Amino acid sequence: MSKKETLFQRLISSRETSDIDFSKVRYSEKYKIFIIISTVIVCSVFFILHLTGYDEQNKFNLVPGYQWTGQTIKAEFTYPVYKSVLTYQNEVKEARENTNFVFVLDKSIEAISIRKINSILDSLKAISNPDFNELSLQDEISLKTLQEFRALPNNQRLTKINKIRSLTIQFVNNVYDNGFVNVNLDKIKHTEITVRISANREFIYPKSSLNDRGTFLTKLQRFASLNFDKDASAVIEIIAKNVQPNLIYSEELTERARQNNEKSVPKTIGIVRKGETIISKGEIINEENILKIKSYKSSQQMREENIITTYNIIGSIGHSAIIYSILLIYLYYIRRKIFADNLYLLILSVSLIIVSFVAWITVNFYTESPIEYLIFLPTLSMLLAIIFDSRTAFYSTVTMALMISGIRGNDYSTGTAMLFAGILAAYTVRDIQSRTQIFRSIFYIFIGLGLVIIFFGFERSDGFDIILPKLLFAGVNSVISPILTFGGIYIVESLTDLVTDLKIKEFDNLNHPLLLKMNEVAPGTYQHTMGVALLAERCAQAIGANQLLTKVGAYYHDIGKISKAEYFTENQLDIGNKLDLLPPQRSAIAIREHVNDGIELAKQYKLPKRIIDFIPMHHGTTIIKHFYAKALEEAKEKDILINPDDFRYPGPKPNSKETAILMICDAAEAISRVKEYDKDEIIKRINDSIDEKILDGQFDDADLTFEDVKIIKETIKKIIIAKSHQRVVYKEIPQKNNHQN
């Protein structure tokens, strides 16, 4: 029974089976334009749309302690000054919390309680009568108490009952006068309660005078013990069950009172009259200025029919487009390969949208906490540096920071903090070799955010009560960002064919099964591979290319030779060359097959595409010169035409500096092993080989400059010279002459 595929496996397999269609989409100009336009529109929405209707921070960066750099503003009309949203919400909350509990007075309870007590006492008077029914009182008082009262002489019993009646009624009246509530006093948070007497009458009762069931029983015990001594338990029995609360808590009336108190909280703190100066140019901004400016702009909007005008929409689209264009211009002129690839462009654009959305959330989610420092821009900066390069991450970080600043209403301080922290984060993973290195970014992210928070806070004369919460949120950001970066790397590598250097590093292992097999089956090819890897890594370092990718690509570029190792001269030790027995065309086919064999073997061992690309590209579409020349010689004798394309490798040509370096170093290493060549001849032939490849157009798709080629030639020359130096012959110690004395 076959194992059922998971959803993730089906997604991956469906992507692999549709490579042709996906390739068309990936490099389509139509889809590129769609991505760019969609990104601009989505980001523009975050400038335009706000949950509270109109967001004044989109027009002004209102930060206490800064100078007002705009023109002097005078009121064109009289308008109210509104409290800040947080202030109003806090006052409403406070008003609700300070609302007294509302109780309803049940006037009948007192009369009912006294009537029950009198009824019990009257029954006790008649306890000596022959027709007295004890069952009528068994639920009110105990049998022991009944027997005690029956044992008393009539006169003594009547005297005691009259005393109990007089003092008890007085006690009960006092309890009800102070108020007897039907809830625990501990649940009443305020010092007073409101008592509804009638529909239009209410009284305030102090909590200190109230009785609940607990305080009532305590007072009753004290009252009985002070006034009745031995009869205290009987008095407690008579009163305890028959005195019930007369103040009944009403949840409905309490909630209604809370709502009324909420409505009574004013939204304004004053007015500004027409012609009054709201703020002057150069004036230091304070909380009062901020409230006046915000209220003025809000009042302007409320006086107009359309809150969002056509000009607002056009301006917001232009705003987001200008910021986005910073990244696009860089990609178009400096990173054409990224710009041409819609997948790469989509990753960068989605990163920008994510940051914009989070910035929008921090504006529209009102809280006193500085949640703007939880915008995880450093996460995306690190992710983009790992996926692409630090320079692309830098420009992306600048773009994202500007977008945050714009959406948050020209929030310069938050934008600067995110920019600084993002750049530091990106450069900490510039040469990342291990996933654990990401955690060193925690320190740098916190430094980036913390320095901006502290210095900008000092500039505005903020107290530590303002700075410390910001530093706390910055600390949370710095800890969580590296963790989120891990998740981002996994998602990108799983859902796309992108492979980060962290993944490439896993194959930088000479004990990999493919390399061990090559060393066993094709030892000459293995030695050639190690030589090429050394040359390629040094050349990549010299011109600033990806050293790790170049070296690992060199390790696996010739794995196809494992299948037919004996066809290649480096593996032919004491055997003849089999290819000499074949026609040149057939020999060329046999040589070419190591490219396709290598690709198949690489896929079988699940090598990443970035490494597999080195296998066909290290030969590009070059001609297999030896067999082409041999074919030309034979054709000359037979007077037939030879098609040079029959002797070319299938390609494609190198499409990066790294694959171009490998093509150069592969040929250079092979040339350096020819015994008949001296050092100068080796260098000359290597230079000729490079020049031939340039003229043949092999580097047309690689971003290799003439300056890069010059540096590569010099680097190879130094290494070849260092490898080919010869040692002097050291003298041997002469043996002793046997005849010498």
Note whether residue 740 is domain-resident: no
Note whether residue 1 is domain-resident: no
What pLDDT shows up at residue 573? 62
Pair (447, 561) in one structural domain: no
Note whether residue 698 is domain-resident: yes
Is a pLDDT exceeding 90 seen at residue 471? Answer: yes
Query: Average per-residue pLDDT in the chain?
Result: 84
Residues near 123 by beta carbon (within 8 Å), at least 6 away in sequence? 132, 136, 137
Pair (327, 454) in one structural domain: yes
Provide the percentage of residues in the chain whose pLDDT is more than 90.
45
Q: What is the DSSP string of 38-88?
A: HHHHHHHHHHH--TTS--GGGT----TTSB--S--EE-SS-EEEEPPHHHH
Pair (477, 552) in one structural domain: no
Question: Which whole number is the average pLDDT over 651-672?
Answer: 92
Note whether residue 96 is domain-resident: no
Confidence of residue 61 (pLDDT cuts 50, 70, 90): low
Using one digit for the tens of pLDDT, what is the confidence trace for 325-358? 999 999 999 988 899 999 999 999 999 999 999 9
Note whether residue 328 is domain-resident: yes
Strands of 192-198's sheet, edge to edge? 201-206, 192-198, 102-105, 247-249
Using one digit for the tens of pLDDT, what is the confidence trace for 22-56? 667 888 999 999 999 999 999 999 988 764 443 44
Question: Which whole number is the average pLDDT over 127-132?
Answer: 68
What pLDDT shows up at residue 628? 77
For residue 652, say if its preceding peptide bond is cis, omega within 30 degrees of 0.
yes
Domain of 668, CATH number, reads 1.10.3210
Which of the listed residues 229, 261, 293 is the one where a domain comes to its end?
261
Pair (435, 527) in one structural domain: no
For residue 29, the enclosing domain spans 7-53+309-501
Q: In this structure, what token pair is assigned to residue 237?
A: 């029995």
Confidence of residue 365 (pLDDT cuts 50, 70, 90): confident
Is a pLDDT exceeding 60 seen at residue 18? Answer: no
Pair (511, 631) in one structural domain: yes
Pair (134, 238) in one structural domain: yes
Q: How many C-beta atoms lie closer than 10 Å to residue 669's C-beta?
A: 25
Note whether residue 624 is domain-resident: yes
Pair (317, 333) in one structural domain: yes
Residue 129 or residue 471, greater confidence = 471
Pair (562, 708) in one structural domain: yes
Question: Which whole number is the average pLDDT over 526-545?
Answer: 93
Least confident span in 60-74, 145-159, 439-453, 583-597:
60-74
**620 dihedral zone (left: phi>0; alpha: psi -120 to 50; beta):** left
Which of the listed residues 261, 295, 326 is the one where a domain comes to its end?
261
Counted domains in the chain: 4
Pair (46, 62) in one structural domain: no
277 three-state secondary structure: strand
Confidence of residue 312 (pLDDT cuts 50, 70, 90): confident
Pair (114, 225) in one structural domain: yes
Note whether residue 639 is domain-resident: yes
Pair (295, 415) in one structural domain: no
Which of the listed residues 501, 516, 541 is the one where a domain comes to its end?
501
Pair (291, 314) in one structural domain: no
Note whether residue 729 is domain-resident: no
